[in-house]
Amino acid sequence: RNFVDEFVRVPGETRSNIKLAEGSGRITDLNGPGPQVSEEAQQALFARVQQIASGFDVVVVAGSLPRGVTPEWLHKLLVMLKDLGLKVALDSSGLALRAGLTAGPWLIKPNTEELADALDAPIISIAAQAEVAARLHTQGIEHVVISQGSEGVHWFSPSVALHSLPPKVTVASTVGAGDSLLAGMVHGLISAHEPQKTLRTATAIAAMAVTQIGFGITDAAQLKRLEGGVTVRSLSEQ
């Protein structure tokens, strides 16, 4: 619904990512490398995005770098999107996240380990995370959303420092959980929802995602119940 196919297609098989979920809750990831992306295809994608991006409010750049695509290319893409006046939400890891941070996206959503790896520094404590977030704010990154799985989410902005804790649920699949959290955060922010509501709803959407095989908000009543089970507190209280 309201989606337009603007893909740049490349030769090769579509990348396969497989998650093995055990009754104990342990998840094993089997991520395929995907096809090699040529320089010509990268140029075509850059030009396509540059052509269609104007007029949108937010663009989400998510996932790992395909083979053949450099962190420098990603940085150039993010800068181009910012220059077009878009808010850029980045959800990546490794060298892609490291390169992305230097472009100053509007929002980032790493987990604790991914952010620590990108910064070459441990950030376990709340104080360490707050210090890192304050430094990233000075680089133009307005929202630092740190996912901590079942331990919840830490969200830092120049005016917000909140922690959300999701309700306990039975995990069916973790596929799409991080994407769901990010989508909920972006929706709440661009809709100008109150910060606690934004984080509560985003956390509930992510919790709902792990309870099902597949995607989407399939039961509005269940989402409402999950929202009621999310605890949101100021990080200054912890």
Pairing of strands 107-108, 143-147: parallel
* Domain boundaries of the chain, sorted by first residue: 16-21+28-141, 164-237
DSSP assignment of 137-203, as one string?
Answer: HHTT--EEEEE-GGG-EEEEETTEEEEEEPPP---S--TTHHHHHHHHHHHHHHTT--HHHHHHHHH
Token pair for 166: 């999701």
Integer-rounded Cα radius of gyration of the chain: 18
Residue 135 and residue 118 in contact, taking contact as beta carbons nearer than 8 Å: no
Is-contact 206 178, C-beta < 8 A? yes
Q: Nearest-CA neighbor of 184 among 145, 229, 156, 238?
A: 145
What superfamily does domain 16-21+28-141 belong to in CATH?
A: Ribokinase (3.40.1190.20)
Q: How far apart are CA 94 and CA 224, in angstroms?
A: 35
Note down pLDDT in tens along the chain; length 238 residues. Answer: 678 899 999 999 888 888 887 777 777 888 888 899 999 999 999 999 999 998 899 999 999 999 999 999 999 999 999 999 999 999 999 999 999 999 999 999 999 999 999 999 889 899 999 999 999 999 999 999 999 988 999 999 999 999 999 999 887 777 788 999 999 999 999 999 999 999 999 999 999 988 887 778 888 999 999 999 999 999 986 6
Distance (Å, rounded) from C-alpha 23 to C-alpha 125?
30
57 counts as catalytic = no
Which of 5, 57, 83, 179 does the annotation list as catalytic?
179
DSSP category for residue 64: P
Strand (E) or helix (H) holding 209: helix 195-210
